[in-house]
Amino acid sequence: MPNPVEENCRVILVDEKGNRILLHAIDEVQKIKGLGVYNPKELIGKDYWESIDISGKKFMILSPSIFDKISAIQRKAQIILPKDGMFIIFYCDVKSGDMVVEGGAGSGALTILLANSVRPNGKVISYEKREDFMRIAKRNVESAGLGDYVEFRRGDVTSTIDETGIDAVVLDIPNPWDAVNNALSGLKLGGHLACYSPTMNQVEKTVNEMRKFGLEWIKTLETMQREMVVGEKGMRPSFDALGHTGYVTFGRKIR
């Protein structure tokens, strides 16, 4: 744990109700939701785990976890939730030093998870065809302190993927089947392809295309997440269970 807060650090302020605010100790005076007008530079020199008072409210200073970084992003496009993102990282064996190509960047939520997994020596190349989404994704990735590990490219993955020797390609676009051939050309031998799709029709088309181009070990999986509410007199599943979000189809370039 770094100690104390240095200039350029990301910190989380947690209030007494557990609400979390992600700040960058470099920004200028600004209006911050939950804080009012504040200059994050005032945090420089303070200790992590220290309690501070801002406008009569108490906050504790913490170093942000990957969960905090994802929770704090500005969402424009629908994001891949951590339950699916971590699953993609596991099945695609994404690790430090890897080169991962992503399409599209959307809000950058998956980009943050991928960048956190490939750092410090790897790279995420994130294709996005819309300028406005690319700007938001870039800002979110930079706010998470992971900008050094991501290159954004304005482009359409169904037309081209420029990179070769890629460890994993992850597609979260409406028509991933149209990018399977490009993904396969860029993947190194043994590389992984993952396609996230909300509907079964999309999965069918993607699997057919993966088979056509000779990808192997094809598998489509869905994960569900239920929190348990543990009371003094008993336990039950939360009513807010995360049911269906999307299916993830995996394939591997074996030959």
Ligand X SMILES: C[S@@+](CC[C@H](N)C(=O)[O-])C[C@H]1O[C@@H](n2cnc3c(N)ncnc32)[C@H](O)[C@@H]1O
The footprint of ligand X (CB under 6 A) covers 77-80, 103-104, 106-110, 127-130, 133, 156-158, 172-173
CB of 134 to ligand X, least distance (A): 8
Radius of gyration of the chain (CA): 20
CB closer to ligand X, 43 vs 141: 141
CB of 185 to ligand X, least distance (A): 15
Pairwise CA distance, residues 8 & 195, whole Å: 35
Pairwise CA distance, residues 77 & 20, whole Å: 22
Residue 50, token pair as written in the block: 């220290």
CB closer to ligand X, 40 vs 155: 155
CB closer to ligand X, 109 vs 195: 109
CB of 254 to ligand X, least distance (A): 26
Pairwise CA distance, residues 132 & 224, whole Å: 31
CA distances from 210 to 161, 216, 245 (A): 17, 8, 22
Number of Cβ atoms within 10 Å of the Cβ of 48? 16
Name 22's bridge partners: 12
CB of 199 to ligand X, least distance (A): 13
CB closer to ligand X, 30 vs 159: 159
